[in-house]
Amino acid sequence: MDKRTTDFGYEKVAFEEKAGRVADVFHSVASRYDTMNDLMSMGVHRVWKRITIERSGVRRGHKVLDIAGGTGDLTAKFSKRVGDQGQVVLADINSSMLNVGRDKLTDLGLCNNIEYVQANAEALPFESNTFDCITIAFGLRNVTDKAKALRSMARVLKPGGRLLVLEFSKPVNPVFSKVYDEYSFRVLPKLGQWVANDPDSYRYLAESIRMHPDQETLKHMMEQAGLERVEYTNLTGGVVALHRGIKL
């Protein structure tokens, strides 16, 4: 039996317990996930995602994997970019999030080049050297074994392919960091109570952000996973960072 522990927010839990605990959070918030994203970020998450798309280098005919793709914001944009000759796989470990994403994209008329796969990022069910680009947006911090997941992503990338990790990170300005902490721990749970009737899930989300590796640590982890030319860009003062690495 695996006796290792990991972080579930500020709580220490057994390795094998975290995935189930995270699943409960996202089953709870799935139906209000898009609404809460807009409220929590005041719509800025759409800018962060647009920058991710622009940095991806994805073009017509490419095959893209959107891990922890949830409600499909990135998948929708990639679907239009790759065209009929390309393919986008929306993968998420959580069935509730996957179902919300499928329904949303189907309502948008985007279905011809999208595949939906329930998958764990630590053990992606794809052959090696499959994808031209992989993205994981606001999902890596919820993964139990992040290093294993990054290795799994690197394995299924084609040589020359890009991995982009969009994730909450560490603000670079100490004053702004204090304001951000106040917002995260006082305002977010109240929004969660008001909109989703679930303050505990949004308290966990705030805690999970604080426990996620900082910019330089994540860069090193990506390099250790076998990616080259890893770089990152701080967005909104480091509240979010976009890391990009290439498989050579």
Annotated binding site for S-adenosyl-L-methionine: 71, 92, 120-121
Cβ atoms of 150 and 180 within 8 Å: the answer is: no
Per the rule left: phi > 0, alpha: psi between -120 and 50, beta: everything else, 62 is beta
Q: Residues comprising the binding site?
A: 71, 92, 120-121
| Longest CA–CA separation in the chain, Å | 48
Tokens of 43: 């719509």
State the amino acid at position 218 in one-letter form.
L
Please state the φ and ψ torsions of residue 70, each to the nearest 5 degrees: 50, -120
Q: Which of 200, 47, 57 is nearest to 132 (CA)?
A: 57
